[in-house]
Structure formats: structure tokens, C-alpha cells
Amino acid sequence: MRMIFIGPPGSGKGTQAQLLSQRLGLLHFATGDILRDAVAKDTPEGQRAKPFMTGGQLVPDIIVNDIVNARLRSKNRPVKFIMDGYPRTLAQANSFDAVLKEQGLDLDAVVFLNVGDEEIVRRNGARWTCINPECKATYNTLTRPPLTPGRCDLCQHLLYQREDDDPATIRRRLQYFHEQAAGILDHYARQGRLIEVPGRGDIEAIYASIVKALGK
């Protein structure tokens, strides 16, 4: 089986992709890992991606496409996999379609883990991190709150909220996600490959819904 996982930041798609990978024997094809691996191995594509990654910038589509394509064209190319974090744009989706066709690999499904914006803000906005650089313990006021509000259980230092977990930042990221995802979802819906699964509830219940939707 070959599939793509799409979902807003904080939707739990990484967790579900890992479960499917472990239980169905699929390679969890996380784009961030592929990029870091290309940089670590100093491949030509990795050399082009490195300045963007070290500068904290998004790696341009054409470079990400080249890295993914090189992986799929390699001798040890993955045959059964879950793509997590790619494609992020319609241009990437078109490039991915082309390389899959070239390699004779058809997609079985594109799973959209759908979670409403307010729920995403609620989940991500509940994350807090220990300010102590030697600790960096993380807490969630909804699921794993600290024993003393605002204090780390381990070292008693103050907790702070990272910029990525600030509600305003989360909403900006969600807006960007929706702008990019709309075209991708429509693209795969027209191909008849899109499966939408609600992403709220217990992890195992969501997993069961995904497996049921896949017909497994």
C-alpha cells in the first residue's frame, strides 16, 4: 500500500502515520527526515537544501521534489510507504504524480485527517516548555499539566510557551495550511483517491476509523 497523509499542524497525522507504518509494515516517509538525510549524506540535492534549512527557511519546491525523486529512483526505493509532510503544494503533488508514474507505483489513498481550526488552536495552545535549557521538559495543560501551574515538575524552573504554540502563530500557520492544502485536496479528490477522516477523539479510535476507511 502507498498513501499520503495530509492534516493541519497538530492534527495528529504524525502519530497516526507511525501507527500505520508499524502495524501495516509501511515505510514512514517523513519529508523532514528525508531532507536531513540528504544534507547529512552531502548529496547534490542536500547541498542545495542545506542553506535554506540552516537559515530556518522553507526549502523551495524544486529542491524538495528533486530529493524525493532521487529517493524513489534509488536502488533501494521504498515500495510500500506513507508520505507524511509531502506534498505540501500543488506543484509538489504534480511532481510526485510524475515520478510515481515513471516508477510504476500507483497511490492507493490520500488520507485527510480533518480537525477544525479551534480544536487545533486549543491543542497546540496548551503546550508549555521548561525554560531551563538543561531540562526542556514539555507539558500540556489539557493532557499532562504540571503539578504546580507554571512550574516544571523536574527542576522547578518556570514554564514558557514557544512562539510556535502561541495562538496567533498557530492561526497564521493554519491559514497557510488551508491556502496550500485546498489545491492538493481537490487534486486528489478528482483522482478519486481522497479519504477524509475526522481527527478528534481517542488515538486508537481515530486509527480504527482510518483503517476502516482504507478497507483494511
| 3 state DSSP class of 80 | coil
pLDDT digits (tens, 9 = 90+) for 145-176: 999 999 999 999 999 988 878 888 889 989 99
Query: For residues 168-184, b (16+ Cβ closer than 10 Å) or e, as one string?
Result: eebeebbeebeebbeeb
C-alpha cell at 203: 488515538
pLDDT digits (tens, 9 = 90+) for 71-94: 899 888 888 999 998 998 999 999
pLDDT at residue 216, rounded to an integer:
57
Verify whether residue 136 is a known catalytic residue.
no
pLDDT at residue 31, rounded to an integer:
82
Q: What is the mean pLDDT of residues 59-76?
A: 89
Verify whether residue 36 is a known catalytic residue.
no
Catalytic residue among 2, 50, 88, 123: 88
Give residue limits of the domains in the chain: 2-116+167-214, 126-160
CB 100 within 8 A of CB 39: no
Verify whether residue 127 is a known catalytic residue.
yes
Q: What is the mean pLDDT of residues 47-75?
A: 88
Q: Which of 24, 30, 34, 28 is nearest to 1 (CA)?
A: 24
* Secondary structure (H, E, C), 11-24: CCHHHHHHHHHHHH
CA torsion, points 194, 200, 201, 205, in degrees to nearest 10?
0
Catalytic residue among 2, 13, 50, 123: 13
Verify whether residue 50 is a known catalytic residue.
no
What's the topology of domain 2-116+167-214? Rossmann fold (3.40.50)
Catalytic residue among 73, 77, 162, 172: 162
Verify whether residue 71 is a known catalytic residue.
no
C-alpha cell at 151: 512550574
Q: Is the pLDDT of residue 132 over 80?
A: yes
